[in-house]
Structure 1
């Protein structure tokens, strides 16, 4: 079977903020609500994103005070040369801060769907892009899950229902949990998504000790070369992977 190789990136960009040590959460808390310095971080992230074919973003500000009212997903798409982009605003704190999932692609999606995720606190979502015609097409989902295990369980059950009927699927994002935690089990039981073949620590970025960011693929796809790379000064490292997709999954 002939295949096409794509390069994928998943990045929690922390809205372009800078966090290089735990104390920065307190001493640099201003960086999370002021636009200062974020353009430099975004330009560095754009250079990284530009090396890939499909990029999933988490914590991308869709336009608030802290981003200088810049839609960061759109900005990254333009700077990195992506023709296709979409975003899913999920949470807003007045006009001060807002957060979104984002998807950048060099391939034109045939459909983009936004779903709010269940949870004890509203403000999480999953963004899905479909490439290629029919149920055999490639589906790429981007999600940022909750901190609490109970909410994550509901969210993963919901995502499993969405992806159940898609044999060629990718789910990537900030899961806020390791891959062998109990709530991940139902995702693997109810879909064709597979646990990753290796553990790549992504958090905290300055001393990675936890693998809580993931790129999961179904058993019909083959990925290799998964590695963690800096997303400017975000508190998460980004994940990059090479993906082999059957040609039929991208046919239109």
Structure 2
């Protein structure tokens, strides 16, 4: 069966805020709630990177609050990056001051997009699902931003595993806040066809990457190559990029 190359990117964009060292979390905390700083310039740089890919999963994309100048950042990136299709899943909101969302940018038209709230000790996490192609052979792509606590992550990963268990061609990407070999990750590998990555790609912190906590997990029947970390403008995470070989049948409508 012929395959089609598909380039994917996952990026925690930190709402366009700049973090270059640990001290910035305290010294530049204002940038996470105020519309100051060069957020538009950061978004333009992210859009340029995203535009070299077919499908992009975003985390911490502001859906339109005070800190982003009421700009829906996912929509902005879709327009600047040349994506015909985009969707987002707003999760956490602090009044009208700040908000956060998962986002999806695509140059291919999805057949269906759904979003789900994730369980956890603190509410406000979600997973965004997009399906491309018909039937069991279609491609399912999920975007998620998991919790910091291991028990909440286990509940969230169990929920995601249930969603993806019947999908033979699946991708799960996002900020997992943990490495791929953590015990709670086993639920994915046991209940779905997703595979652990062949090698660790360090993405955090962006200025001195030491932890592989951002992942693009792929089912074993999809060819996977050139997985690498790439700067996501001013974010405290590096983005992660990969090229897949996807059966053409999985993308047909």
TM-score class, shorter-chain normalisation, is over 0.9
Q: How do residues 116-195 of structure 1 correspond to structure 2 at under 5 angstroms?
A: 116-195=117-196
1:233 and 1:173 map into 2 onto residues whose CA distance is 17
- Alignment match, 2:10: 10
Secondary structure in structure 2 of the residue aligned to 1:171: strand
Please list every run of 5 or more consecutive structure 2 residues that lacks an aligned counterpart in the other structure.
Answer: none
- Alignment match, 2:22: 22
Deviation at 1:251, TM superposition (A): 1.3
Deviation at 1:119, TM superposition (A): 0.3
- Alignment match, 1:201: 202
Secondary structure in structure 1 of the residue aligned to 2:235: coil
Q: How do residues 28-43 of structure 1 correspond to structure 2 at under 5 angstroms?
A: 28-36=28-36, 37-43=38-44
Q: Deviations over 1:11-50 (max 9, x none)?
A: 0000000000000000011111111211010000000000
Secondary structure in structure 1 of the residue aligned to 2:154: helix
TM-score in terms of structure 2 length: 0.99
Q: Deviations over 1:84-126 (max 9, x none)?
A: 0000000100111000000000000000000000000000000
Q: Deviations over 1:187-223 (max 9, x none)?
A: 1000000000111000000000000000000011011
The answer to whether the aligner puts 1:52 opposite 2:53 as a matched pair is: yes
2:152 and 2:171 map into 1 onto residues whose CA distance is 21
Q: How do residues 53-132 of structure 1 correspond to structure 2 at under 5 angstroms?
A: 53-132=54-133
1:188 and 1:113 map into 2 onto residues whose CA distance is 23
Deviation at 1:6, TM superposition (A): 0.6
1:124 and 1:222 map into 2 onto residues whose CA distance is 30
Displaced runs of 4 or more, over 6 A? none
Deviation at 1:135, TM superposition (A): 1.7
1:93 and 1:125 map into 2 onto residues whose CA distance is 16
2:9 and 2:35 map into 1 onto residues whose CA distance is 25
Q: How many corresponding residue pairs?
A: 252
Secondary structure in structure 1 of the residue aligned to 2:48: helix
1:157 and 1:194 map into 2 onto residues whose CA distance is 15
RMSD: 0.5
1:160 and 1:186 map into 2 onto residues whose CA distance is 7
2:84 and 2:167 map into 1 onto residues whose CA distance is 25
Secondary structure in structure 2 of the residue aligned to 1:147: coil
- Alignment match, 2:247: 246
TM-score in terms of structure 1 length: 0.99
1:185 and 1:219 map into 2 onto residues whose CA distance is 15
1:176 and 1:116 map into 2 onto residues whose CA distance is 17
